[in-house]
Amino acid sequence: MKDFVYLASQSPRRRQLLEQIGVRYELLLATPDEDAESLEHVLPGEIPLTYVKRVTHLKLEAAVKRMKTRNLEPAPVLCADTTVALGRVILGKPENAQDAVRILKILAGQSHRVLTAVAVASGHRRSLGVSVSKVTFAPMKVSEIKAYVATGEPFGKAGAYGIQGMAAAFISDIQGSYTGIMGLPLFETAELLKNI
The answer to whether residues 25 and 78 touch, using CB atoms and an 8 Å cutoff, is: yes
For the chain, percent of residues with pLDDT exceeding 70: 98
pLDDT of 1 higher than 70: no
Q: 5-195 has which CATH code?
A: 3.90.950.10
pLDDT tens digit sequence for 84-122: 999 999 999 999 999 999 999 999 999 999 999 999 999
List 85's β-bridge partners, or say none. 90, 113
Question: Tell me, what's the pLDDT at 3?
Answer: 87
List 41's β-bridge partners, or say none. none
Active-site option among 33, 81, 99, 173: 81
Diameter of the chain measured on Cα atoms: 53
In one letter, which amino acid is 45? G
Question: Is 173 part of the annotated catalytic residue set?
Answer: no
pLDDT tens digit sequence for 45-83: 999 999 999 999 999 999 999 999 999 999 999 999 999
Predicted TM-score of the model (pTM): 0.93
Strand, helix or coil for residue 179: helix
